[in-house]
Amino acid sequence: MPDITWKQRWDTTLMPTYGTPAVELVSGAGARVVDADGREYIDLLAGIAVNSLGHAHPALVEAVSRQVATLGHTSNIHAHPRVIELAEKLQELTGPDARVFFSNSGAEANEAAFKITRLTGRNRLLAAEHGFHGRTMGSLALTGQPDKRAPFEPLPGGVEFYPYGDIDALRALVEQDGRAEDTAAVFLESIQGETGVVPAPEGFLTEVRALCDEYGILMVVDEVQAGIGRTGRWFGYQVEDVVPDVVTLAKGLGGGLPIGACVAVTPAAQLMAKGHHGSTFGGNPVACAAGCAVIDTIRAEDLRGHVLDMERIIRAALEPLDAVTGVRGRGLMLGVVLDGPRPGLADAALAAGLLVNQPAPDVLRLVPPLTVTETDIRESLATIKELLS
């Protein structure tokens, strides 16, 4: 009987939602990973902006190992010190009146935010075209990508879409037919990740905040990809002097462990009441221990400053290239915009020993671990230059 390959095992056991992966990764350290054949890659994808401390970071390994060996799960019927500690850390980062709901993913964090908006007594939601908030039914309803929504309609109602970055169009939609008083929230990402790393235009976040204040509308900012140090700030929205009503987090918060958080910052924090929402695994002590380790390590190792240093190196190397029309984004959430579609570039990078991806045919997304070394960055840039030449 012939040996069964891992690809055959994958195809005969998993639903085909991701297709068949090209490689099977089995180990990693820092920003380097190794596949089942022993080949090493530099990881510029970080599990899609998840592995904020890279692979096998000692602080994360120690925190998770200690916690799982002490108490692995409690549910939210009982409290746990790591859960409270992580909530306090998030409160410190967002505002003293903030309240946190823990979940297991960004989609679930956005579901919680969706439910908060319903508790305002208004039922109209405005979300950005091309935005991405997840694939559960509620988060998908907020996602401004029709091809993702269409197979699952009808979705939860009341959502309308505005052109991202266009404050005049957003105002017109808010005020359309005198419906401003029915509008519960404006949803947006500070940087649209899945559509090709597109930051909000300068001033847009401030203008959205002012518009929401004018009509008593909640401003909900999805920081699932841009949050927790990835842009060189704790949150992507901090590029401007705004405070959202609700912030959603996941990905890099757990450094590789599944966790999401919906943080209500303003009086919106008081809308959820006992029995309104729940999650068996949300606020799991092991995942929360990981979140605490991530935040503490970002501080201790000054990773926000390091992120900005690495951004400067990347821009200096790639922006002058003839094949590159620009590098957009902030920190280590960057989209390298190419001079035209280059299908298969991510596959070519994989063959050359780099993990990257293409959220659009003419965009290469770079979201490496926040801990990535200058050596790894410069080696990766040399490979990218060769591929683009």
Using alpha carbons, select from 365, 353, 318 the residue that is nearest to residue 48.
Answer: 365
Using alpha carbons, select from 32, 50, 56, 26 the residue that is nearest to residue 380.
Answer: 32
The contacts of residue 289 (CB under 8 Å, 6+ apart) are 63, 64, 66, 67, 82
Residues tagged in the binding site annotation for pyridoxal 5'-phosphate? 106-107, 132, 222-225, 280
**pLDDT tens, position by position, 88-114:** 999 999 999 999 999 999 999 999 999
Do the beta carbons of residue 264 and residue 246 sit within 8 Å? yes
**pLDDT tens, position by position, 3-44:** 789 999 999 999 999 999 999 999 999 999 999 999 999 999
222 pLDDT more than 60? yes
CA 135 to chain centre: 13
Q: What pairing do the DSSP bridges indicate for beta strands 159-162 and 124-128?
A: parallel
pLDDT at residue 217 in the model:
98
Using alpha carbons, select from 132, 330, 95 the residue that is nearest to residue 227.
Answer: 330
266 pLDDT more than 90? no
353 pLDDT more than 50? yes
Torsion of CA 125, 129, 132, 135, to 10 degrees: 70
CA angle at 231 for the pair 230 and 235, rounded to the nearest 5°: 85
247 pLDDT more than 80? yes
**pLDDT tens, position by position, 230-244:** 999 999 999 999 999
Q: What pairing do the DSSP bridges indicate for beta strands 32-35 and 333-338?
A: unpaired
Residue 251: CA atoms inside 13 Å, Cβ hemisphere, count?
A: 29
pLDDT at residue 1 in the model:
44
DSSP notation for 65-95: HHHHTT-----TTS--HHHHHHHHHHHHHH-
69 pLDDT more than 70? yes
Q: What is the pTM of this model?
A: 0.96
**pLDDT tens, position by position, 145-179:** 999 999 999 999 999 999 999 999 999 999 999 99
The mean of the pLDDT values for the chain is 97
Q: What is the C-alpha to C-alpha distance for residues 106 and 112, in angstroms, rounded to an integer?
A: 10
Do the beta carbons of residue 290 and residue 60 sit within 8 Å? yes
Residues tagged in the binding site annotation? 106-107, 132, 135, 222-225, 279-280
pLDDT at residue 119 in the model:
97
Helix (H/G/I), strand (E/B), else coil: 360: strand
pLDDT at residue 3 in the model:
74
Average pLDDT over residues 43-56: 98
Using alpha carbons, select from 143, 168, 161 the residue that is nearest to residue 153.
Answer: 143
Other C-beta atoms closer than 10 Å to the C-beta of 95 total: 17
Do the beta carbons of residue 229 and residue 222 sit within 8 Å? no
Do the beta carbons of residue 219 and residue 210 sit within 8 Å? no
Residues tagged in the binding site annotation for N(2)-acetyl-L-ornithine? 135, 279
Q: What is the C-alpha to C-alpha distance for residues 143 and 195, in angstroms, rounded to an integer?
A: 11
Backbone angles phi, psi at 159, to 5 degrees: -100, 130
- DSSP letter for 153, please: P
Do the beta carbons of residue 130 and residue 189 sit within 8 Å? no
Using alpha carbons, select from 110, 91, 113 the residue that is nearest to residue 100.
Answer: 91
Q: What is the C-alpha to C-alpha distance for residues 139 and 135, in angstroms, rounded to an integer?
A: 6
pLDDT at residue 2 in the model:
59
The contacts of residue 9 (CB under 8 Å, 6+ apart) are none
Using alpha carbons, select from 83, 110, 116, 85 the residue that is nearest to residue 249.
Answer: 110
